[in-house]
Amino acid sequence: MQIPDEFQLHAWVDESMRQKDVAAPMYLLGAVVADPSRCEPARQELRNILPKGAPKLHWHVMETREKTRATTVVTSLDATHLVVVGLPLNHRKQERARAECMERLLWELGQLEVTQVFLEQRTPSLNDRDMKLVRHLRGKRSIPSTLRVDIAQPSTEPMLWVPDQVLGALGDAEADEGRWFDQYEGAVERITISL
């Protein structure tokens, strides 16, 4: 199969942390990688299952029925899921954990020839910190110059909800509740790093 010249891959990134009911506290940084030209049906499906009044799908506030519906949608996507798990997480060094996981995740996305990465928006100062890290990684050639990284709002970009769902399911599996993560049937590449 020949891939057309205009083919691109984009990635949408979110974070999570697990400190209770797991063997060791962990920082998780996940990405969903997909062809942006084929994401609109997925966005619409995700919007259709969004609870009334909620700005986005967020695993930790969803009920069992909502998690089941979301997992069905996310596992049906034509996408790749990557998760970098940093262990053990020192809650006082959360931003350091994010930086180490981000470096590895962006490197992996570069290896997949992703051209555009969208990080979920945080506070202005933390967004600036993320972009400073990206410039640093580019300067030391840890990520390719062709990898563009921007900040996106989860309230307007449903693709940012996907890694939240994957991270939530993985975190639950780490806490011995694997019923949702089992549905991914090996479709999530997990990379564990030491913090």
Q: Where are the domains of the chain?
A: 10-194
Write down the mean pLDDT value for the chain.
Answer: 94
- The amino acid sitting at 137 is L
Could you read off the pLDDT of 138-194 as tens digits, one per residue? 999 999 999 999 999 999 999 999 999 999 999 999 999 989 999 999 899 999 999
pLDDT of 106 above 50:
yes
* Mean local confidence (pLDDT), 60-74: 94
Terminal CA-to-CA distance of the chain, rounded, Å?
A: 41
What pTM does this model have? Answer: 0.94
What does the CA dihedral 119, 120, 123, 128 come to, rounded to 10 degrees? 10
Tell me yes or no: is domain 10-194 CATH 3.30.420: yes
Asked whether the CA dihedral 144, 146, 147, 149 is positive or negative, the reply is: positive
pLDDT at 68: 94
Cα(114)–Cα(8) distance, integer angstroms: 7
Output DSSP code: residue 66. Answer: H
For residue 98, which of 190, 14, 188, 166 has the smallest C-alpha distance? 14
